[in-house]
Structure 1
Amino acid sequence: MRKHGSQTVEVTQSLEAFGRYKSRPAFQDWIYRLKKGERLPRGRYFVGKKPGRPLQIIDDFFYR
């Protein structure tokens, strides 16, 4: 049921980070610590990646 003045938002999620066989948390942490304008280190893991944290939306809705 929608309330007056609300908008419908469609969201898709992927299990890319959860389904990896060999996760690399140290490299991912390095990417997250960099700011948006900084350069990533050279290496095959960092090819095609962007520095900075991705946008994370946390959906917590509680009824009273």
Structure 2
Amino acid sequence: MPASLKTLVSAYVRAKNRQALENMRELRRQLLERLQSTSSINAAQSRASIQEDLRVIEEGLEQLQPRGRG
């Protein structure tokens, strides 16, 4: 999935679709929060995967930040 996610994030960056990236980030944050509050299963691998997704999404959002002139 990471390659697919990277492709999707890259497409949103090229389209300058910040809202789509923010929506993806929020969904994954919600999922991570739910997993972290669950004690009935060992969700370490799922949490790690979601954290990696968040890292990729954050990188995409950083690419959409206005660049300072200097």
Same fold per TM (> 0.5)? no
Bigger RCO (CA 8 Å, 6+ sep) = 2
Which protein has the bigger helix share?
Answer: 2
TM-score, with normalisation over the residues of structure 2? 0.28
